Amino acid sequence: MVDGILGRKLGVTRLFQENGDLVAATVLKVGPCVVLQRKTAGKDGYEAVQLALVELPGPRRVTRPEQGHFKRAGANPSRFVREVQLKNGDASIKMGDKVLVDEFKANELVDVIGVSKGRGFAGFHKRHHFGGGGASHGSMFHRAPGSIGASAFPSRVLKGMLAAGHMGAARVTVRNLRILRVLPDDNALIVRGAVPGPDGGYVIVRRAKAPKL
């Protein structure tokens, strides 16, 4: 059994649960995916499969080595290719197999991996959630970072100091999102909560590694 699947984030919505609660949810279009390559412990040192998300139309430019890689699996070229680990070295999964959304069930917990929205250059208040100084008249310390190191020793700014800089556009994993609905006819999942990235961004959905029931 493949533990993950590739897809795209479609957007956010709200759903009513059976007890009447209104919860925030994210719609993900996942699959169909094709197994491009099978990694084994004996040959590669670990158990995994390389998945390609099937999309039409495919990429306009594909290198000749990539064309051969896709052709060996009997798959069309894809923009989004990622590896997903296998549990217990399932020998039934082979090159060319399809992975569909019906691998998942409602109420399962999943981890969703995506790339967060890029925010460009951001200050430390926005980037690291600094509280800032007093806002009243005369404070003279509204949005300053404060001390960033001692002058006598070590007479330099230590590495890792929280400061302004590039924000976002980083790999983010959101853990333990509950699947609210599985829509096999639409190749879609609806999960409770927020998912990183913009609408249309690529995501990896995998079974929760550390589920919290």
The confidence score (pLDDT) of residue 88 equals: 65
Residues 144 and 191 in one domain: no
Residue 144: pLDDT band (50, 70, 90) is confident
In this predicted structure, the answer to whether residue 92 has a pLDDT above a threshold of 90 is: no
Residues 70 and 161 in one domain: no
pTM score, whole prediction: 0.84
Average pLDDT over residues 5-34: 91
In this predicted structure, the answer to whether residue 76 has a pLDDT above a threshold of 90 is: no
Q: Is residue 213 part of a domain?
A: no
Edge to edge, the sheet with strand 81-85 lists 81-85, 48-53, 33-39, 98-99
Residues 185 and 113 in one domain: yes
The confidence score (pLDDT) of residue 71 equals: 87
Residues 99 and 153 in one domain: no
Residues 82 and 35 in one domain: yes
Residues 113 and 131 in one domain: no
In this predicted structure, the answer to whether residue 65 has a pLDDT above a threshold of 70 is: yes
Write the pLDDT tens digit of every residue in 147-205. Answer: 888 889 988 999 999 999 999 999 999 999 999 999 998 999 999 999 999 999 999 99
How much is the mean pLDDT over the chain?
Answer: 89
Q: Is residue 91 part of a domain?
A: yes
How many Å apart are CA 11 and CA 191, to the nearest integer? 11
Which domain covers residue 140, as residue numbers?
Answer: 119-167
48: exposed, middle or buried (C-beta count within 10 Å: 0-12, 13-18, 19+)?
buried
